[in-house]
A and B are shown apart, each in its own frame.
Chain A
Amino acid sequence: MIRNLALIAIWGLCFCHFTIAQSETAELFRLKCGICHTIGGGRLVGPDLSGVQDRRSEEWLLKFIKSSQSMVKSGDPDAVALFEEYNQTVMPDPMISDGEIRTILQYIRENSGTGAGAAAYESVLADAGPEDAELGRRLFDGRLAFANGGPSCIACHNGLSSTFFSEKSYAKDLAPTFAALGEQGVKAILENPPFPVMAEAFQGRPLKPEETRALMAFLRSAGAVSSNRAANTPGSGFLLYGMLGAATLLLLYSALWYNRKSRSVNHAIYKRQIKSFN
């Protein structure tokens, strides 16, 4: 009797462990992959991963998931083709171990064809108007602060609409984003940033749903008018302002220390000594 109970307990523990492992893998998939991919739910930012093992070998997938950009740069034809097909959107390195990647691949294999993660998407921009886009622009520029204290988008992305902010920025130009990723992709990235720097910037300071919606409306409108922006926007003159300012600063120093000594005190003695030495 006791033996049977022990066997049942062990079997139960194993089953619990299996269930916990399954849910952990599902969570890992959701955090690391689910923002951009589905399993049987169609294209999102990246391809639908249903049956991906039938299309690529396990070793290829392992290398690509670890660092897709390394493979693109090394000229792997399949990696380059995928990169081009998905509008050169960079897939960030997930920073997880080989073992975790294999676990995720196993999870994808088990759920391929079952429709897991294939939830129907409902648009949040159906009734968004110009006032939503304007609200988004103000959030983007920083004129309106995010409720949870996240940095404004303009900290890293160029300004789309403001001349001074149209030049080099740390991160990507977002003008073509909406057209490239679609509403679902943009929403997924804003809600759960997959890029390490962006994730850190919004760590503990997530966007509110209404802020996400306004930003999406702005990015949609900015993408529509961006085609002539790049051609017509003059340079901001950041470098020029810097050079002129520095020159002014040097003149200011010169004026402030107008009564400085033009030579060191023993200059004449030194010159005389050098002259006699030569």
Chain B
Amino acid sequence: MKIAVRNPIRWARGPVKSRDSDGESAHQIQEKYQTLVNNLSVGVYRTTPGSKGRFLEANPAMLQMFEARSKDELLKHNVNDMYQNPEDRKIFSQKLEKDGYVKNEELGLVTLAGNNFIASVTAVTKTDQHGDTYFDGIIENISGFKRVESALRQAHALLETRVKDKTIELEDLIKDLSADIAEQKKLEKRSTVYNQELENTKQAMVNVWDDLNNEKVKLQEGKVRDDAMLESIGEGIIFIDTNGRIVLVNKAAEEMIHSKASEIIGKRIDLIVPLVDETDSVIPFKQQPIHDALSGKKKIFGVYYFLPKGKNKISVSLTVTPVLLQNEIIGAIEVFRDITREREIDRAKTEFVSLASHQLRTPLGIAKWYLEAVEKTGYMEKAPEEIRDYIKQVYESNERVLSLVRDLLSVSRIDQGRIKDNPKSTNIVHLVEGVIKELSIMATKKGVQLDLLAKSRSLPTMSIDSLRLHEVIENLITNALEYTPTGGTVKVVIDKDGNEFRVSVRDNGIGISQEDQKKLFTKFFRSERGLTSNADGSGLGLYVVKSYVENWGGKVMVASKEGRGSTFTIKIPLNNVKAKEVG
């Protein structure tokens, strides 16, 4: 700041040098110095020491600083008048007197016009040649600076506050952001998990779908296979539900009952294919095998007649099997075969067998009687022994053929299920005695002793087919005689045991091996020993025995030891003997 110097200060008592080396005069130096002081922008002054003090000198900047109109106005005032707090003058003065100088002391001052300002004061203590002490100093108004500084400080404080606030805000924001980010991350993570789960679920569904498809293909294959099987089977197959309604029919069944599956599915089996007996009367539903199968959980087999509406009766071999699901009946399967033609063939066979047997028996019977007649004539006694022997051989041979024909006839009847019993009141003891009497000739001839032991003569007469029982007893005794060597014994025992009678035939012949005992009652079976021992037999006798005895509700048993003999026992219940068919 350039201050116009209106009243330049005259340093009346400044340090004066009389003359310096380059010849300038003291006055010249004084003037130079005066000019410098007058033009300085800082205040330059001289005061007296003390707590009051008096201004001795002040430059123009000084006047301007203290808003003095003139140097005189300022010089009229004590120094301490210029202090905002006059006490400060005392401290300042004391410090300056003591130290000799003060540097950059900040003081709160006041102008003559009463305006406060802050000044920075640097001063020294001087003593002149008179011994007077005074203070020389420079003063600088630093209010502006202070203001700026204060403003700066305030601005700074404000800034700091703001920064702090902002920082807090930012921190909060950052916190929030962090939280947000964390949340976001969490969400992202969760979302990833969800996505993964979704992906897994999708994959699982795809797998299930694939599995289902595979299953479907398998099922379809299975169904095609089953259908093909059902359709190509020659047997008729009908599936029936628990209400007796048709659910499924195969092709063979359609053909056999002359109906289309589409026309009969859902209809009652007993109305579509009525079951009839031999005389064409309809068998009531409750007596039909399908009813039994649906209510009894068991498989039923038999020969029946179907009489489809408006069609011919067909004979069928029928199997009805209940279908169980977790032990619950859900329906039944009828499997049947048209055996009409088989039955015809059977009938023809029976016809043939009976015809053949008749045809065979007639000449054989004639031979039998004529041979007997020859023996009876009395001429035989005169004939040579060899001739009588020849005749006997012929007779026995003839008997063997007759026996074989009889067995064949019996087996044929048994196989066709045509045993029709003709039970009549029979005394068993008498019957067995009769058989023994007939066979005693054979026993004598073989040199085998044949005994009868009737343990219970009081056996009641019973109702039984006597011809067949005769055949059974005869077969057992004939067998025993055949397999017992000369010198042996055959013992027949009749006994009653509770509600049944027992006939056992015991021999001490060649016996039967364990192995052979199992096959003994099968058709045409002959043991090795039997074959090698030259015994006669068709291998049908025991089969016939078993069939007849079981038909009467009885049992055949065998006990045997090789080389020791055999015992055959039949047990037949005295009552409850039914003339039922053997099938």
- Does chain A bind chain B? no
**Interface residues, chain B, with chain A CB atoms under 8 Å away:** none
